[in-house]
């Protein structure tokens, strides 16, 4: 099927699916800057509890991500996306209930917690399902392009959603925000429901441990590279403040510009040169960027380092993801995508807390040097995979 599609039509098919990823992450971004304040100021809980409510969604995503891929293989990507969108919409309903119960803080917190778990479930099902759905529409040959645009939709939605959420909350409080999440989710659900069913590929489903055994080197490369993403987004403002530098917000913008620019301009290089080679180059660039931040003598060096980190990290997810999916047959690609994506979720869940511990002992600059070392290890692993593949090809030709 992929050979029958022109480039413009293929892009249109991809857009028609990644729009559901956009809606999902728009729903995630809307309460990001609102819920911590509600939990801390309105309900009167500690900053730790405010942070825990936000992280509950990521924990739920990590737990359900492999199941999302497995169900996409079994019942079809469309049904998984529809389930995910319903969960996203339901999370808004629990925000409304949480607001109504604010006079009883613990009950309100518990209701919001359930909503966050539903949102995490919605994230794993919508995002993973959308990637497999897009791959089904345009052909697995173009899965790198699907993953790339899925990422663009993700970060674009987060950039837009957070300020929109603050604006809605300022006029209509948390209940207004919750209603908006419900409406957005239900509209996307209705649109997805009208789409034609996605063909389920028949064949033998291999168990989770076999999928994990085949894709773990690529997942580990993703997890290690994601540490750089975590420490820049979580601690760059503190790093700038410690040096009395201005412009931390613009540094995050440049990080995002580097990330989005690479996805948009060079996403096709994965099909041209292969996922491993593109990932290796990207890992080296990310390593240089992180080391430049860690050793930065002035603000400009740190800014350039952040830009290079975003530029380098951009194509690693789709680059290694393409190679991970190749390790399984077509009927197990959803499971492979879900399991591979879980490595990213795991890295985000543990990297920032561990970096916070490291800061207390060795200082802020050290975490960028540690992260650079971990990303370089991922580069070594990727180079070894390239060498092993070349050796196997040589043996086969002989």
Which DSSP string corresponds to 339-380? Answer: HHHHHHHHHHHHHHHHHHHHHHHH-HHHHHHHHHHHHHHHHH
CA 141, 147, 148, 152 torsion: positive or negative?
positive
Write down the domain spans for the chain. 1-199, 206-398
DSSP codes, 139-166: -GGGHHHHHHHHHHHHHHHHHHHHHHHH
Inter-residue contact 371 to 228 (CB < 8 Å):
yes
What is the end-to-end Cα distance of the chain in Å, rounded?
A: 34
Q: What is the pLDDT of residue 110?
A: 94
Check if the beta carbon of residue 367 is closer than 8 Å to that of residue 358. yes
Closest CA to 119 of 166, 182, 76: 182
- Topology agreement, domain 1-199 and domain 206-398: yes
Residues with Cβ within 8 Å of 233's Cβ and at least 6 positions away in sequence, in order, are 252, 255
Burial 68-98 (b: 16+ CB within 10 A, else e): bbbbbbeebbbbbbbbbbbbbbbbbbbbbbb
Cα–Cα distance between 307 and 288 in angstroms, integer? 11
Tokens 């301009």 belong to 265
HSE-up of 195 (CA within 13 Å, CB side)? 23
Other beta carbons less than 10 A from residue 393's beta carbon: 10
Q: Does domain 206-398 have CATH number 1.20.1250.20?
A: yes
pLDDT tens for the chain, 398 residues: list them: 444 567 788 888 888 899 999 999 999 888 877 888 888 888 888 867 877 787 788 889 888 988 888 888 888 889 999 999 999 999 999 999 999 999 999 999 999 999 999 999 999 999 999 988 888 888 777 888 888 888 888 888 887 887 888 888 888 999 999 999 999 999 999 999 988 877 766 667 788 788 899 999 999 999 999 999 888 877 888 888 889 998 887 888 888 889 888 988 888 899 889 999 999 999 999 999 999 999 999 999 999 999 999 999 999 999 999 999 888 887 788 888 889 988 988 888 888 778 888 888 888 899 999 999 999 999 999 999 999 888 877 766 66
Alpha carbon distance 366, 234 (integer Å): 14
Contact, 46 vs 52, CB < 8 A? Answer: no
Question: For the stretch 240-277, what's the b/e string if a residue is b when 16 or more beta carbons lie within 10 angstroms of its beta carbon?
Answer: beeeebeebeebbbbbbebbbebbeebbebbeeebbbb
* Angle at alpha carbon of residue 357, lines to 350 and 379, rounded to 5°: 55
| Whole-number pLDDT of residue 385 | 94
**CATH architecture of structural domain 1-199:** Up-down Bundle (1.20)
Tokens coding 225: 């590279």
Using CB atoms within 10 A of its CB, is residue 356 exposed (0-12), middle (13-18) or buried (19+)?
Answer: middle
Tell how far CA 203 is from the center of its chain. Answer: 29
CB atoms under 10 Å from CB of 210, counted, come to 13
Q: Please compute, for residue 311, the number of CA atoms within 13 A of its CA located in the half-sphere on the CB side.
A: 18
Look up the pTM and report it: 0.82
Q: What pLDDT does residue 5 have?
A: 66
């Amino acid at each position: 099927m992929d050979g029958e599609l022109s480039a413009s039509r293929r892009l249109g098919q991809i857009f028609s699916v990644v729009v559901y990823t956009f809606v999902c992450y728009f729903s995630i971004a809307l309460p990001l800057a609102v819920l911590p304040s509600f939990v801390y100021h309105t309900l009167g809980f500690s900053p730790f509890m405010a942070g825990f409510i936000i992280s509950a969604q990521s924990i739920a995503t990590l737990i359900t991500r492999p199941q999302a891929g497995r169900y996409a293989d079994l019942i079809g990507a469309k049904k998984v996306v529809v389930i995910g969108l319903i969960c996203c919409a339901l999370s808004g309903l629990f925000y409304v209930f949480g607001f109504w119960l604010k006079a009883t803080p613990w009950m309100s917190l518990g209701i919001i917690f359930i909503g966050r778990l539903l949102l995490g479930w919605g994230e794993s099902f919508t995002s993973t399902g959308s990637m497999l759905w897009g791959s089904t529409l345009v052909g697995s040959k173009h899965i790198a392009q699907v993953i790339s645009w899925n990422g663009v939709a993700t970060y674009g939605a987060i950039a837009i959603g957070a300020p929109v959420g603050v604006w809605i909350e300022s006029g209509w409080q948390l209940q207004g925000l919750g209603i908006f999440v419900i409406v957005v989710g239900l509209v996307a659900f209705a649109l997805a429901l009208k789409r034609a069913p996605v063909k389920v590929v028949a064949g033998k489903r291999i168990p989770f441990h076999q999928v994990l055994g085949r894709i773990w080197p690529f997942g580990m490369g993703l997890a290690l590279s994601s540490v750089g993403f975590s420490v820049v987004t979580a601690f760059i403002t503190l790093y700038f403040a410690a040096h009395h530098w201005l412009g931390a917000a613009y540094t995050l913008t440049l990080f995002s510009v580097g990330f989005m620019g690479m996805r948009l301009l060079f996403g096709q290089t994965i099909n041209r040169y292969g996922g491993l080679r593109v990932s290796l180059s990207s890992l080296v660039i990310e390593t240089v960027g992180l080391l430049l931040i860690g050793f930065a003598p002035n603000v400009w060096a740190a800014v350039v380092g952040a830009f290079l980190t975003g530029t380098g990290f951009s194509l690693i997810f789709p680059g290694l993801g393409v190679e991970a999916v190749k390790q399984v047959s077509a009927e197990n690609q959803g499971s492979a995508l879900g399991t591979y994506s879980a490595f990213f979720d795991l890295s985000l869940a543990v990297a920032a807390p561990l970096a916070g511990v490291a800061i207390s002992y060795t200082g802020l600059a050290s975490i960028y040097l540690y992260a650079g070392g971990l990303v370089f290890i991922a580069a070594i692993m990727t180079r070894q995979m390239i060498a092993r593949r070349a050796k196997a090809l040589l043996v086969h030709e002989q």
